[in-house]
Structures are given as C-alpha cells and as structure tokens.
Amino acid sequence: MMLQNDLLLRAARGQYVERPPVWLMRQAGRVLPEYRAVRERLKNFIELVTTPELAAEVTIQPVDLLGVDAAIIFSDILVIPEAMGLPYEMLEKRGPIFPQTIRSEQDLQKIRVADAPSDLGYVAEAIRITKRALSGRVPLIGFAGAPFTIFAYMTEGSGSKTFSTAKKILYRSPELSHKLLQMITDSTIGYLKMQIAAGADLVQLFDSWAGILSPAQYRTFALPYIAQICNAINEVPVTIFAKGAFFALTEFAQLKCHVIGLDWNIEPTTARQQIGNQKTLQGNLDPCTLYADFDTIRKETQKMVAAFGKQHYIANLGHGLYPDIEPDHVRCFVDTIKSLA
C-alpha cells in the first residue's frame, strides 16, 4: 500500500522533504484523555500491551488527535525479558518490577533466547491491525529496547537512579554480562524482524540508560550489540536513540543506521558537526518546553529547526512526553513544525 504521507521515511533515508516530519516519543498514551479512557477499562498496563486490538487503538489515537506524521506501535521495551523467561510487573507510579533477576550463571540457565513469533506474536498482530486501520495515512514505527538498557532492568530488577547493581555485574562478571547481552541481542533481532514482516516501516532502538555508563564501558557493553542489530536489519530504516550518550556521537556516525535520535543535552550544531550529513538527526526539544505558553513553544520549536536545518532532520522531543503535559501544548508543537513547509 502506498503511503499518503511518507515524510518520515524520506527524511530517514536522507531524501528531500518539503518540511521536517514530526512525531513524539510516548505520543501513544499518557497525555491523551482518550488513552486514559481505554486504560481505565483494564486491570493493568500489561493487559493493554498484550491485547492487539486495544494496542492498535491507542497507537492510532495520536495520529487522529495530534496530527503527527507517524504512528509508533504501543508496546513496552520490557516485553523482551518477559519473552526470554523473565516476567515483569508494572506498578502504578513506581514503574516496572522484576520478581526475579539475572545475577549469576545459574540464573542465566533459567532464561532463553526469545522466539519472536510464538513469544511475541501479539505485537505482530497489533502491527497488522494498526496497518489496516491506518490505510496508508502515515508510516508505522516499530521499536525495541537496546541490549544494555534491557540488561540493566534484568539485573537490577527495577528502575534505578544509579543502576549500581547492573554496573557491579559489568565490573565483576564481564563474561556473564556479555553472555546475557548476546542473548538479549539475538532476541531483539528476531523481534524487530518480526515487526518489520508484520508491517513496521521503520524501527527505533531505545537505549534509555546509555548515560549511566562511562564512554569506555559503553564501547565495551553497548555499542557492539547495537552494531549487531543495525547490521542485521536491512529491510527498513533504523533509528538509534541513546539518552545521555553524547560522548558516543562519532561512534554512532559509523553505525549502519539511518537516524540518530538526540536528547536535549546536545546542541544541534555540535551533533551535526560530529555526525555529518550522512545520517538524519532526530530530536531534541526538552519535553518541559511544552509546559510553556504557546508563543514560547512556537519560538523554541522554530529555533530548534533552524539549528538542525529542514533536511536530514526529523522533529521530535529529546525524550518522551510527560503525563501532565496538556494535549493543546503538544498540538502547538506539532502544528508549528507543520507550518514550516
């Protein structure tokens, strides 16, 4: 099916665009009352993730309500550890909790490389339903967590300010760490390929906890596994978003990916100098800008686009939307980008 709006894919491939495409991380849910209405009917967040019809419904909401140029499938990065045999719970206001963790060779024996079609088929089904319902209006983005970020949750057992348990394992048990990271990488490649086969037009890797590692550790325990994933995915453009990894921009420039997502701690001009024009850049407005009045949102958004330039660029935030941002303020951001044609 031909896409009616292919701005995102053209920008990702470095082709000419009339204006930058715009979408937002965490656009599916959180800020939208319509999402909360769906969520309130269910026992928990995981039920929403694993019910394809409902996941598709909330995936499409921001396309209808915010006017973004792409949908991103509603799911969670932690479906991978669950598929590997390490289930999680999502606690309100506390986030994910893993009742069991991986901290020894013995623990490693209890998990496996995920088989995407049998373990994660509900995500593929959600993608198929979403694609049918979108009818080619906009592209659909698939995603997964980057291996180190998934490793951090599987070893720490929850979110953390320091992830000191996860980092302790890197220092004390590097061999165990590499084994687990390889299992996560193999699971993720299969998972992303399944998403692409189901209809994802572009895939993004989220390395949410990249910034807790030193540059040397990142080169050892994160980049080689991200590189494996980039090398394995040839079917669609790949985006890497590594929060806090400003120190790795020159390494990202060497990866076989199309797009590099940036957080708000990086100056657009600095990123462009380090990465060059071979890659498309994505980002990087501070989500808190959207708490400001409309005039400020417009001014800051225009300033951001001027710094990045309209080509080889995808407009986005430097991280996900926060739940208490007003939908009208999000629309102001989206409409400002769309007015730049």
User: pLDDT digits over 260-269, tens only?
Assistant: 999 999 999 9
Per-residue model confidence (pLDDT) at position 341: 84
Catalytic residue (one of 88, 103, 119, 153): 153
Per-residue model confidence (pLDDT) at position 170: 98
76 as an active site residue: the answer is: yes
How far is Cα 309 from Cα 82, in angstroms, rounded to an integer? 41
Q: How confident is the model at residue 290 (pLDDT cuts 50, 70, 90)?
A: very high
Q: How confident is the model at residue 30 (pLDDT cuts 50, 70, 90)?
A: confident
26 as an active site residue: the answer is: yes
Tell me the β-bridge partners of 238.
203
User: pLDDT digits over 203-236, tens only?
Assistant: 999 999 999 999 999 999 999 999 999 999 999 9
Q: Which of 89-93, 162-166, 252-256, 284-288 has the lowest mean pLDDT?
A: 89-93
What's the CATH number for 7-338? 3.20.20.210
Domain extents in the chain: 7-338
0.85 surpassed by pTM: yes
Catalytic residue (one of 6, 26, 272, 313): 26
Per-residue model confidence (pLDDT) at position 121: 98
Q: How confident is the model at residue 1 (pLDDT cuts 50, 70, 90)?
A: confident
Tokens for 212? 């807790």
Catalytic residue (one of 39, 112, 219, 331): 39
